[in-house]
Amino acid sequence: MSAHCPHDCNPTAATSARYRRVLWAALWINALMFGIEIVASASAQSVSLLADSIDFFADAGNYAISLTVLGMASVWRSRAAVFKALTMLGLGLLVLGRAAWAAHAGSAPEPAMMGAVGTLALLANLGVAALLYAYREGDANMRSVWLCTRNDAIGNGAVLLAALGVLGTDSRWPDLAIAALMAALAVSAAVSILAQARRELATPAPHHHQETQA
């Protein structure tokens, strides 16, 4: 179905009212953490926190797609994926740009705030995983919840590692190195989502003529 790239958490379509409530909760937690990490990134002068926020955006986008367009024609699902991937691409390039700028003119970020927000992000992802697992439905099986949570936790762990590195070296370089790595992964995930959506949009739907294009 969907690109199996490092930061892609795809819940199944919401069919029951109970599962829809769980997906809404997951959507709001991810959207809130996206905002918190952007604000914390500016306040702590940490580029890796900004890089970690991309995953919260992508996951919020996946829950929004599951709640709104998943039942619609596949062309809308593909267009929603294109919108999500273009935003991820923009955020990834923004992070790379900020990292390059901070490499020339930045100071060491605040490791305490990085550690606190990285821990909060990890707890948010574990909380969402517990919710999804407890109220799973259809093919939202244990394995997909596990894979998604593991990938999210690796990102949060990378921020905590960057905080430790900043603390240990009193320099910005661990933050910038982790940020660049995470941003590069986000850019590559966005490119593969775009390629997949392009293929889906180029494939004519059943009973349509060959010229069907986006």
Using CB under 5 A as the criterion, which residues of the chain lie in contact with Zn ion when the complex forms? 7, 9, 55, 59, 152
Whether residue 25 contacts residue 131, with contact meaning beta carbons closer than 8 Å, is answered with yes
Residue 192, CB-side half-sphere exposure with 13 Å CA sphere: 13
Shortest spacing between CB 209 and Zn ion, in angstroms: 38
Q: Which is nearer to Zn ion, 55 or 175 (CB)?
A: 55
- Which residues have CB under 8 Å from 49's CB, separation 6+? 37, 40, 41, 114, 117, 118, 159
Q: Which is nearer to Zn ion, 55 or 110 (CB)?
A: 55
Whether residue 121 contacts residue 156, with contact meaning beta carbons closer than 8 Å, is answered with yes
Shortest spacing between CB 212 and Zn ion, in angstroms: 32
Q: Which is nearer to Zn ion, 75 or 131 (CB)?
A: 131
Q: Which is nearer to Zn ion, 177 or 186 (CB)?
A: 186
User: Could you write out the DSSP letters of every residue in 86-119?
Assistant: HHHHHHHHHHHHHHHHHHHH-----HHHHHHHHH
